[in-house]
């Protein structure tokens, strides 16, 4: 608790110096041309298939910029109503739903989770007892980053919400409960089910009723819906052989288990309504009632959990603190408060940034794997509000990130004396050859992990394949890289590759299998390190 008290003191002190004023050029006009130029430069530099950007100032939509296509090469232009996955920007919506329920007296932030979900269990009994509704939102569980995410991604898979919640009992903590920040998605799924239990209706029904309808976010989608009835829908894109390749949905978008953590899709206009509702403390619903009480607005933007403050934030933004609220990240930038979040999901990236003391905010939506482009454009747009005199451009930030990468490569080269498997990217530098069934005969078979379920490591026509029963995209050949084994998944990028380590079970017990990321910097949602497989039996005859 001492760390939290220090954080509150820092925040209170910083608030004294927060700037006020409007984000206008020196002559009092809005710098529309500069914003247009920044968007054009980002699109050109990163070759993006599509992007939608909107800016709100003083309660009004000041500027909208649209570029590209819903599907690369289709000729279907991105529009203001084109649906994008907002991914983890869903989290603030889930938190807002719970806040509405607190206002209605249906639950309290300090309610034990088991009050609403009696079957809820964490790995440690005392954590199960002490976990409160608030804890589900602020990433303080003690689990590792992204723990359990392999039940959510890659999509599609056949895990259910019940699977995810039951799996939490088997996910071992890395740290003590409430001792530190580590981002998670699985507990937001629990939060969605708490809302459903308190509200007496499914999560998707409640989110539409309590968030979308009152704020007239009529185009947003959650739960199961049909593509042909949704109008313009952007497809996610990934890079393959230097070109953007679309991964469009099928005819029906399923009600996915991760809905409360990242399942919302919205168009730009609806996301701008979301921004306006948060920037206006007096925002009212469609019946003229306050949408959220002042107390719940304050709770959402209270620093509940300190987060690590990185060098980039200090150097670029003169930030002094960083913390997580209820579905929002909180920090200071150039002397004013910033409330923001990002979203990253299967070929779509988003960003929502609010600068409440400047009465300004903006939304960025991409239909591509565009992490660096998002970082660059978010910085440039924020600086138009907080430090326009600095003249920071797309090139400035893009070049700075390129220099960071060069420095990281130099550090990796300097670590040449490390073991091969400890150096980032080493598997790409070592020749890969197909693993043979004969060489792996002691280890072939079906394996099970308590939370992820069953996988097989069995002979195939070309060697040996790894296949996950409930996650069909986690399938691919086993390869040898140096003296180690890895799985090269068929439909995922190189960052998803995983080392496989087999070992004999204790005593006469069955063999064990553990996994780890080939690339230590890979997305933490590939939480292979949380898996602990034990062999169930031999391979089916048909796979030999």
| Per-residue pLDDT, 365 | 98
Do 478 and 416 meet the contact criterion of CB atoms below 8 Å apart? no
The first and second tokens of residue 399, run together, are 């070049």
- How would you class 219 by CB atoms within 10 Å of its CB: exposed for 0-12, middle for 13-18, buried for 19 or more? buried
| Per-residue pLDDT, 285 | 83
At 45-80, the pLDDT tens digits run: 999 999 999 999 999 999 999 999 999 999 999 999
Show the CA angle centred on residue 466, arms to residues 502 and 528, nearest 5°: 60
| Per-residue pLDDT, 417 | 42
| Per-residue pLDDT, 419 | 39
3-state secondary structure 286-323: CCCCECCCHHHHHHHCCCCEECCCCHHHHHHHCCCCEE
What secondary structure letter does DSSP report for 130?
H
| CA distance linking residue 126 with residue 128, whole number of Å | 5
The secondary structure of 72-126 as a DSSP string is TTS--B--TT-BEE-GGGHHHHHHHHHHHHHHTTS--TTSBHHHH-TT---SSHH
CB atoms within 10 A of CB 81: 17
Residue from 225, 274, 295, 249 nearest 89 by CA: 274
The secondary structure of 449-488 as a DSSP string is ETTTEEEEEEEETTEEEEEESS-TTSEEEEEEETTEEEE-
List the domain boundaries for the chain: 2-67+79-400, 427-543
| Per-residue pLDDT, 507 | 87
User: 451 — phi, psi (to 5°)?
Assistant: -105, -30
Superfamily of domain 2-67+79-400: DD-peptidase/beta-lactamase superfamily (3.40.710.10)
Four-residue CA torsion sign, 304, 308, 313, 315: positive
| CA distance linking residue 393 with residue 402, whole number of Å | 14
At 444-469, the pLDDT tens digits run: 999 999 999 999 999 999 999 999 99
| Per-residue pLDDT, 24 | 54
Residue from 97, 64, 96 nearest 82 by CA: 64
| Per-residue pLDDT, 156 | 86
At 364-416, the pLDDT tens digits run: 999 999 999 999 999 999 999 999 999 999 999 999 999 998 887 776 555 44
| CA distance linking residue 505 with residue 541, whole number of Å | 24
pLDDT tens across the length of the chain (544 residues): 334 333 433 343 333 333 334 455 444 567 899 999 999 999 999 999 999 999 999 999 999 999 999 999 999 999 999 999 999 999 999 999 999 999 999 999 999 999 999 999 999 999 999 999 999 999 999 999 999 999 999 988 999 999 999 999 999 999 999 999 999 999 999 999 999 999 999 999 999 999 999 999 999 999 999 999 999 999 999 988 889 999 989 999 999 999 999 999 999 999 999 999 999 999 998 788 899 999 999 999 999 999 999 999 999 999 999 999 999 999 999 999 999 999 999 899 999 999 999 999 999 999 999 999 999 999 999 999 999 999 999 999 999 999 998 887 776 555 444 333 344 444 455 689 999 999 999 999 999 999 999 999 999 999 999 999 999 999 999 999 999 999 999 988 888 999 999 999 988 899 999 999 999 989 999 999 999 999 999 998 754 4
The first and second tokens of residue 364, run together, are 């960025």
């Amino acid at each position: 608790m001492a760390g939290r008290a220090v954080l509150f003191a820092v925040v209170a002190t910083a608030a004294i110096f927060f700037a006020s004023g409007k984000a206008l050029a020196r002559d009092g006009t809005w710098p529309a041309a500069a914003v247009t130029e920044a968007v054009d430069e980002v699109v050109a530099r990163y070759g993006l298939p599509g992007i939608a950007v909107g800016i709100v100032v003083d309660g009004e939509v000041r500027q909208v910029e649209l570029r590209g296509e819903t599907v690369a090469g289709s000729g279907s232009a991105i529009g203001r109503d084109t649906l994008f996955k907002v991914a983890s920007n869903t989290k603030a919506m889930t938190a807002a739903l719970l806040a509405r329920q607190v206002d209605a007296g249906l639950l309290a932030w300090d309610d034990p989770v088991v009050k609403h979900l009696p079957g809820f269990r964490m790995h440690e009994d005392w954590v199960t007892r002490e976990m409160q509704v608030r804890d589900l939102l602020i990433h303080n569980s003690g689990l590792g980053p992204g723990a359990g995410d392999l039940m959510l991604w890659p999509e599609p898979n056949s895990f259910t919400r019940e699977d995810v919640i039951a799996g939490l009992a088997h996910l071992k903590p890395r740290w003590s409960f409430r001792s530190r920040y580590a981002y998670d998605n699985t507990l937001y799924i629990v939060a969605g089910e708490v809302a459903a239990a308190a509200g007496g209706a499914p999560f998707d029904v409640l989110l539409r009723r309590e968030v979308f309808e009152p704020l007239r976010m009529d185009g947003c989608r959650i739960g199961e819906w049909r593509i042909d009835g949704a109008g313009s829908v952007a497809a996610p894109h990934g890079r393959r052989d230097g070109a953007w390749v679309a991964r469009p949905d099928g005819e029906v978008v399923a009600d996915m288990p991760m809905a409360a953590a990242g399942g919302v899709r919205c168009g730009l206009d609806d996301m701008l309504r979301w921004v306006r509702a948060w920037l206006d403390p007096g925002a009212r619903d469609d019946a003229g009632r306050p949408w959220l009480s002042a107390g719940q607005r304050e709770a959402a933007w209270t620093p509940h959990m300190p987060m690590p403050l990185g060098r980039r934030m200090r150097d670029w933004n003169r930030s002094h603190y960083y913390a997580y609220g209820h579905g929002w990240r909180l920090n200071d930038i150039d002397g004013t408060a910033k409330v923001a979040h990002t979203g990253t999901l299967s070929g779509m990236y988003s960003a929502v940034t609010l600068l409440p003391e400047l009465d300004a905010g903006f939304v960025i939506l991409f239909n591509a794997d565009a992490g660096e482009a998002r970082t660059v454009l978010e910085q440039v747009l924020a600086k138009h509000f907080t430090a326009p005199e600095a003249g920071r451009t797309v090139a400035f930030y893009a070049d700075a990130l390129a220099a960071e990468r060069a420095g990281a490569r130099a550090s990796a080269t300097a670590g040449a004396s490390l073991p091969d498997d400890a150096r980032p990217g080493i598997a790409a530098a070592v020749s890969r050859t197909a693993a043979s069934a004969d060489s792996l005969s002691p280890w072939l078979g079906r394996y099970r992990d308590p939370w992820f379920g069953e996988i097989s490591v069995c002979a195939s026509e070309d060697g040996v394949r790894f296949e996950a029963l409930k996650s069909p995209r986690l399938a691919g050949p086993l390869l040898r890289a140096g003296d180690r084994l890895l799985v090269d998944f068929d439909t995922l990028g190189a960052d998803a590759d995983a080392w496989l380590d087999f070992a004999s079970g204790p005593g006469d017990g069955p063999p064990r299998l553990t996994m780890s990321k080939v690339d230590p910097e890979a997305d933490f949602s590939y939480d292979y390190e949380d898996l602990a497989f034990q062999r169930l039996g031999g391979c089916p005859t048909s796979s030999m």
